[in-house]
Amino acid sequence: MNKLLVVTVLAALLALNVEGFRVPRQADEERGTMTKITDNIKSYYDSAVNTASEYVESIKGLKLEEKAKNLYVDTTAAASTYAGIMQDQIYHFFYPQQ
C-alpha cells in the first residue's frame, strides 16, 4: 500500500511539474491580417533585393563597367575630334580667308 501511495504522489508531482513547463503555441490567429501582409511584402522585398544583388555581382564579374568606361572614353575622343573639324568648317564658312 505504501508503494502505491508513493507512486501516486510522485506521479501527481510529475504531472504538476510537467504542466508548468509547457511551451506556449504561436497561434496564427493571434497575428493580424496586416501583420501577415507586411511579412509577405518584406519577404518579397528581401527576395528581390537578394536577386538584384546577385545580378550585380555577376555583372561585376564580367567587367562590363570597365568596358563601358572604355567605350565612353573612345566615343568622346572621336566625337570631340569630329566636333573640332565641324567647328573649323563653320568658322571658315563664315570667315573665309581673303
What's the angle, vertex CA 24, arms to CA 22 and CA 29, rounded to 5? 150
Q: Where are the beta strands (DSSP E) in 10-55?
A: none
pLDDT at 61: 73
pLDDT tens-place string over residues 55-90: 878 777 777 778 888 999 999 999 999 999 999 999
Longest dimension (CA), the chain: 137
Helix (H, G, I), strand (E, B) or coil at 22: coil
pLDDT tens-place string over residues 4-50: 777 777 677 666 665 555 555 555 556 678 888 888 888 888 888 88
Q: Name the residue with cell 496586416.
A: 34
